[in-house]
Structure 1
Amino acid sequence: MLRTLVSAAALCGLALSASAETQLLTGGHVFDVERGVMLKDHDILVEDGRIKAVGRKGSLGASGAARIEMQGAYLLPGLSDSHVHLTSRADLHGYRRLAVSTPRSAISGVANAEKTLRAGFTTVRNLGGPGFADVDLKDAIDTGEIPGPRIIPAGHSIGITGGHCDNNLLPYEDKALGGGVADGPWAVRQKVRENKKYGAEVIKFCGTGGVLSKGTTIGAQQFTLEEMKAIVDEAHELGLKVAVHAHGAKGIQTALEAGVDSVEHASLISDDSLKLAVKQGTFLSMDIYVSDFILSEGEAAGILPESLEKEKTVGKAQRERFQAAVKAGAKIAYGTDAGVYTHGLNGRQFAYMVQWGMRPAEAIRAATLGNAELFGLKAEIGSLTAGKRADIIAVKGDPLTNIRELEDVDFVMKDGAVFHNGLAD
């Protein structure tokens, strides 16, 4: 009966609501994230949407439980992505985005959320989108109306006038302004409060110029230390963590001094800033896959010529600084900037993280336990241990031997509900 429900759900593209029954995932191998080892021939018992027990095959005494045959697959915690834009499309960049309304973005978000969950990513941080559409998307998923990952929404990205988070594509007469634009300590505090009011669960601000914004310089700091501290202090007072978009070394250093919780991109981070990040326990979310998409497919997607030139200067440098960050022992978040590239391909970054200095187990840990810590969800997600949410994925091959197995996930369970099961194919 369960397999029939799973097949029906896959065919109609709908997620099942959290399961209240007891289920036994049997006949697979379980990845122990904390120790970085694969436990051969282990079962997982799921009850009321949470993991009840993990043990050797046949040892859990699960008589009467609905059995889900894992067929020798490798089981891991649901993956997470610390930097996505679910309401954005990879084929609509530059001036093409001016034609996209907020309702249309929300519709794209529905499609992209399903693709993301199908890829095995059961929790994401959505770092910026129009009109608080990511908050509504989260609500629709949480109420079971549509399938998708658990979302931590940021609402509007906060930025300076004319900065990376502003709308710089139209002339003065159009009075175009990004929803999170603010200048000065009190104005940015007001934007933090506004985001909180309308449902944001994390604050994202732009601390330097960016690759894809018109007229900004990657290395140029945006916001003063006083403004950054105002953002961080207000957010922390309201119980929200802070992510800063920052490529340039000066902006990264200033954001670290202001006390941000994560640095997004961190492309040109200095050795001194690496030391400070390690000392403070600040996470670095370095999207080292996306450069390949921008340089190979970006022009056809509408990315501006100046943006392509900026990416040529920063892509390899970011990978080299990622390598330095790993060697320095910095906390690495798994963040991809999905939405710049095609949603559902989030797993492609694993191979790049391994190529540039991580062991497979470390890369997986970044996308599970590491992000769970950054999100403040360590008690809920990130490992296959008793009491945590039953977010479970599986692949047919051992990802510790071939990390690219995670680019095509064969089984996805979220909160005890099976969303996809291709193991029987």
Structure 2
Amino acid sequence: MIDEILKAANKQADETEIFFASSESIGADLKQDKIAIGSKSRGSGLIIRVITNGKVGVSCTDNPKTWKQCLDAALASAKFADHIPWNGLPKPDSIDKTLHAFDPRIKPDPDLILNLIERLKSGSESYTADITSGSASLGISEHTIANSHGLEYSAKGTQVHVSLEMIAGTSTGYESDTSWNLDHIHPEKTGENAAFFASKGQGGKEITSGSYDVVLSPMAITQLLEAAVVPALSGRNVHTGRSFFSDKIGQSIASETISLIDDPMDKRGVANCAWDGEGMPVKVLPFIENGILHSFAYDLRTAYRYNETPTASAVRTGQSGAPAIGNHNLILKGPESDVLSEKAIFVHDLIGAHTANPMSGDFSVELSSPFYAQDGELHEPIRTGMISGNIFDLLHKIEGCSTETRTLGSMIMPSVRLSGMTVIGRA
């Protein structure tokens, strides 16, 4: 099919790119402690991108048999596109074609799902709390990218995910885990943590408003970075005046001990790859290194439009649509320490991080499952509270990072200890 599309497209376009993806998944959802819904799905998608005289057209279909109509639509959309200084699709390169995020043991097998569910429930019995909902899923995907320069790469990927939400009185607890490797998924720990936050979160006391040291879990710091820092690193946002970092290349934007790096080859990540969503060979991309802003993220289209160097940061977020600027495995690095050794407020989750202002970085969020912490342990629960501040200022307030990390989507994050955070309580 790919050869047929390229042959037909090359008669009408200067360049052609084809992205074909297929996936299969199986999952189960819990209602209380029983499986309420089981599902199995299979799908595929075809995306055709054509370039003619500097005009880019894209079309997609979930029925590859209709590729001729899809090609016609891509050619038609190119006619109405704006002209950009286009410097060409990538040519074949010598790259590592190892399967970077693939576990052959992961299959759409109901027995695997049942095993994950039972392990979740087993872990949840560590504390007195009731399951309200949960889920387990397995997915297998395969994609091929090819273009009119003879480039053709294919890769397979796997993913396993578990989550659990529990309640004890009016206190709730939530935890999840994701990996591409069955050896790296921990349903028992996920269940235990969800039960801990529900059970031990009961009877929390009000906190007095003031300035505190705060430890954000990997989940909490991920939510804040995704709300403002990640968008600010997009080359498109930089050149359209929608990035806080627009004029700050080469400047100090974080503590000198902090680095934020995209490493597509880190085996902890679920987005490991050897090429990006456009077939460009990937490499380690330091956005922030020792506090200094070094790089922005570019796909081909944005780099060509603004005369910048492509950074192989194109991602495909689904089975349809054009490539977009993103990251592969975004890793926060800082001074490693026991972030809970000294007294602090530990925050497991945040409510409302998406309401942060992506331009200014200002935020005000509600704390979920907060605890007083000291000597490496969580102690008294806090009934409620909010933290407010500026996300970009947080990069200067990070005093330590835990040695243990979590993989959350395309991010690999430690827990971080922040100094001088404004906490708003009711007391």
Which TM class, normalised by the smaller chain length? under 0.3
Name the larger-Rg structure: 2
TM-score of the pair, normalised by structure 2: 0.20
Whose relative contact order is higher, 1 or 2, with alpha carbons under 8 Å and at least 6 apart? 1
Higher strand share: 2
Looking at secondary structure, tell me which structure has more helix per residue. 1
